[in-house]
Structure 1
């Protein structure tokens, strides 16, 4: 007996202290919490970006070991991660706590399904009865993991209007030398996420190699004799493939990134002034408060332009700040008087006359503003690009969150209507189809979505305007660029201007995440981004995603930017998410496989697989 006790392993000794199922459950919780902790440390507060290369490696350990309560551990940990990372959303309105809980709960499903699909893949490759096991064994597991993760990101960027924030690739946005994120001009942030997953698979095989092998042995002990004897099939689920693949991908990405960063850009002749402040705003804001905010931005802009030492071509104000209680009204050719106004005797001609008067008032105010910015030293008054409500009266009345381009003469030159609205922030799904409820919608929650991009001509620059969350939903800006490219390549914008009001989020991490999204969009489109924000990231980002200059979130100030012209038309703009689309299809197929297995093995939570 004594020799046997001496030969007892450390694992057996631990087993005498703690039952195996409890030890397994504890290890799963530790792995899940370690994963979300590393992801959090990659965030803006600490920016330990290098941890992203190991952040999801514990999920590989969970996926390849049969452990109790893994579903609860993974889901609860990632729910906490998304809730804390996005908790700034709750500052917009007290009731936003409920959409925040729903959003965190929804996003946490994707890491859970990542683990579930890896488990399903492992079972398929180890099953002698599966028709596909022979083929799947020949595919390196690290590539499969990359497809699953990126496929999930693709689906969530389209499903339920889509949200790109907190993609895995965003964790590298603030790395000191951004060589590894330059592939976003080919593959979008999806490509950076794929690279990170490859690295995590290699880390998992190296660091957790012993436990992974034990897990594989225990999960497929019954059919180990039937498994393929070929070395390649065994190497596909070990460091023998994951490490070389990750090393080659990192090396290629670095070389490509270095070359991309060395690409020559041309000096621009157009100068913009980005105006940022930290004015507190409310959902239902009274007219006087809107006037006060407008006046504060006007005074700051006048002082900045008149006190500057070089001419400014355009002043850029954040989202909604140009309204000042006075939106821009437009009368369409097919104008129809709304029913409630017809009941008061309003005619079409009277309606047109009223709209013309409001346009005149708006124009007079704009003329006064641009005139006040001109002094003896200034050759010309600057144009204004500002966030402003836009109301169009056609067959129906439509209200938009918009961008107005006011020329140096004070005349409105062009408008842009925000295409992608914030669910529960700017609209409530189906609410306008319910007669009783649509009357209860407060102002700002009944907005309409615009269609298509706009291009503003500012001096020698062609400007693509974006609003608010549109840079946090990556495909919006990319699709705008591609639409313009298909329509007329000669009119492709060379500057992207984004206006946002992030004061809703009270300087939380949400604001910093928004900036990271804009950096990745700048690379994806190969265009500099100029961001004017209220209570958020007023910043000048170059076409390589580097922040040239930025203001603090709580600072009233200006950035004078002369962005360089980058003549590249990125692969991402030309072909969109062609890289990620087949992965999205594969992810849906994997989801169906997981759901099919659960349907055959009811109930969902069974002992030994929870």
Structure 2
């Protein structure tokens, strides 16, 4: 192994960048649906050896650029292998969007790889020959992943912490440190084997791997202890999640409006299994209708006729505001609460829209539309974002207060209850609701990765998660991350389930957000500086 590490460190030019790309791509096997943690250990071990070569015999200022290139190539490979399924969205309306497929499948990972380049560069400035360089890499990647999740609207998809965050025992620590804290731990654990080939004395050679093994065991023991018995359910609540499995190319065609509403109503009215109670609440997925339900009293009346007395419907739907004369109304991607009398009693407007999917970013909007281009969702002018200042809990009769999220809003740690952290409510939310439409991505890793990331929000916040997806995967998840009920992918079906109760008192992450992550970053920075020896 020492000979292999030395050969990797001696690589230069395209050979160094090519191996970095391959190593990063291998690391994507640690993400759902594969969950092979050793793949990330191999990927980060190779990354350490490549930085050893990039930083060798160079001053701190001179090593920043070669380390940046290694990190960029590593991140480019990791994200290309982990996000290739995005190409499926470009094939839904291939006549209009096929030309842009390389931009999504190659261009996005190419650009996002710059964050990893910055992280590796920061690590290179702190690099040393001893075990402290593992802490330097954890500091660099941890900071880079946080930036990737926040800058330019943010895109924290498949942050490295998800390698630990998909295991039921290991994910429990997220209740204190969140996804980004898990990312720091994942780097510390998976990069530690690099010293087995480079340590100068037994303590340096074996110490980091032994510490990583102890850390993993401690996390597993803590997780097993925290799980305990199954969570209680909320009395008097029985959910039905409707999964219509509508193809994306048919979902938004107005001529299908009658058939689509009929399918939803028929699935909602099917009798429960023998001996099971009738649903008290029906949930339909994101953008359920190819028309504005709020402006269609006939459709609302049909929906009301399909609800049993006392039942309530919570559904995704496009919503238009009241425009001034001569102005085009703004369209929002919303969640609506509809009572048994057909009245819309509450709404939530999606705050965090998908760039190029739901709208064209401001600086590019005019240029792209002048060229005849549009966002994926065929809404004139694109969706408008709801007000972040006005983001609030959704009131659904018979349910605890609902923290509503739409589609990929559920992948953002710390953003489920932004206002609640600043001013704790006397009536805290009792569940996270996530309505989504993953039909764009077919039977690929995308829907499975989406579910895994949403699941981690339940653990972070100490709240059950109710997830309804058009094509799947729909699921009910308790506040410890246990999936109590789920549907298969690409299946027309429905799911009846009880609502798990929230964790009384919440979680440390729910109260303090990324505070623990910041302390972990500071500890890694301190460890890298204190333990530093010249590279």
TM-score range, shorter chain: 0.7 to 0.9
Change (3 A) 1:459 1:469: same
The one of 149, 157, 163 equivalent to 1:165 is: 157
Secondary structure at the counterpart of residue 426 of structure 2: helix
Secondary structure at the counterpart of residue 497 of structure 1: strand
The residue aligned with 1:596 is none
The residue aligned with 2:314 is 385
The residue aligned with 1:156 is 148
Change (3 A) 1:535 1:360: closer
Could you tell me whether the CA contact under 8 Å between 2:27 and 2:43 is conserved in 1? yes
Structure 2 unaligned residues grouped into runs of 5+: 57-65, 526-535
User: Which has the larger displacement, 412-421 or 185-194?
Assistant: 185-194
Residue 296 of structure 1 deviates from its aligned partner by: 1.7
Change (3 A) 1:416 1:23: closer
Residue 389 of structure 1 deviates from its aligned partner by: 0.7
**Partners of 2:108 and 2:19 in 1: CA distance:** 23
**Partners of 1:315 and 1:439 in 2: CA distance:** 42
The residue aligned with 2:359 is 427
* Residue 49 (1) aligns with residue 37 (2): yes
Could you tell me whether the CA contact under 8 Å between 2:32 and 2:449 is conserved in 1? yes
User: Which has the larger displacement, 92-101 or 400-409?
Assistant: 92-101
Could you tell me whether the CA contact under 8 Å between 2:242 and 2:284 is conserved in 1? yes
The residue aligned with 1:32 is 20
**Partners of 1:240 and 1:80 in 2: CA distance:** 29
Could you tell me whether the CA contact under 8 Å between 2:28 and 2:79 is conserved in 1? no
**Partners of 2:395 and 2:486 in 1: CA distance:** 23
Change (3 A) 1:55 1:453: farther
Residue 388 of structure 1 deviates from its aligned partner by: 0.4
Residue 429 of structure 1 deviates from its aligned partner by: 1.2
Residue 38 of structure 1 deviates from its aligned partner by: 3.6
Q: How does 1:473-512 map to 2 (within 5 A)?
A: 473-477=412-416, 480=417, 482-484=418-420, 486-487=422-423, 489-512=425-448
The one of 500, 503, 511 equivalent to 1:564 is: 500
Change (3 A) 1:587 1:297: farther
User: Which has the larger displacement, 287-296 or 242-251?
Assistant: 242-251
Could you tell me whether the CA contact under 8 Å between 1:485 and 1:492 is conserved in 2? no
Secondary structure at the counterpart of residue 535 of structure 1: coil
Change (3 A) 1:120 1:432: closer
Secondary structure at the counterpart of residue 567 of structure 1: coil
Could you tell me whether the CA contact under 8 Å between 1:392 and 1:398 is conserved in 2? yes
The one of 126, 135, 146 equivalent to 1:143 is: 135
Secondary structure at the counterpart of residue 469 of structure 2: strand
Could you tell me whether the CA contact under 8 Å between 1:507 and 1:535 is conserved in 2? no
Structure 1 unaligned residues grouped into runs of 5+: 1-9, 127-136, 214-230, 329-357, 375-379, 589-610
Can you list the C-alpha shifts for 1:576-598, whole angstroms capped at 9, x where unaligned? 1223357789999xxxxxxxxxx
Secondary structure at the counterpart of residue 86 of structure 1: helix
Residue 79 of structure 1 deviates from its aligned partner by: 2.2
The residue aligned with 1:404 is 336
Q: How does 1:595-610 map to 2 (within 5 A)?
A: none
**Partners of 1:279 and 1:521 in 2: CA distance:** 27
Can you list the C-alpha shifts for 1:138-191, whole angstroms capped at 9, x where unaligned? x9333332221111111111001011211111123433xx22111111111112
Change (3 A) 1:109 1:583: farther
The residue aligned with 1:577 is 514
Residue 486 of structure 1 deviates from its aligned partner by: 4.8
**Partners of 2:424 and 2:339 in 1: CA distance:** 24
**Partners of 1:284 and 1:311 in 2: CA distance:** 28
Q: How does 1:423-462 map to 2 (within 5 A)?
A: 423-430=355-362, 434=366, 437=369, 441=374, 443-444=378-379, 446-451=382-387, 452-462=391-401
The residue aligned with 1:3 is none
Secondary structure at the counterpart of residue 143 of structure 1: helix
The one of 162, 166, 171 equivalent to 1:181 is: 171
The residue aligned with 1:337 is none
Q: How does 1:267-416 map to 2 (within 5 A)?
A: 267-269=233-235, 270-282=237-249, 285-304=252-271, 309-321=276-288, 323-328=289-294, 358=295, 360-370=297-307, 374=308, 380-393=309-322, 397-416=329-348
Secondary structure at the counterpart of residue 321 of structure 2: strand
* Residue 106 (1) aligns with residue 72 (2): no
Secondary structure at the counterpart of residue 485 of structure 2: strand
State the number of aligned residues: 494
Secondary structure at the counterpart of residue 562 of structure 1: strand
Could you tell me whether the CA contact under 8 Å between 1:466 and 1:497 is conserved in 2? yes
Secondary structure at the counterpart of residue 401 of structure 2: strand
Residue 102 of structure 1 deviates from its aligned partner by: 2.7
Residue 314 of structure 1 deviates from its aligned partner by: 0.7
The one of 47, 50, 55 equivalent to 1:59 is: 47
The one of 189, 198, 201 equivalent to 1:209 is: 198
Over the aligned positions, Cα root-mean-square deviation in angstroms equals 3.7
The residue aligned with 2:533 is none
Could you tell me whether the CA contact under 8 Å between 2:119 and 2:140 is conserved in 1? yes
The residue aligned with 1:90 is 87
Could you tell me whether the CA contact under 8 Å between 2:304 and 2:339 is conserved in 1? no
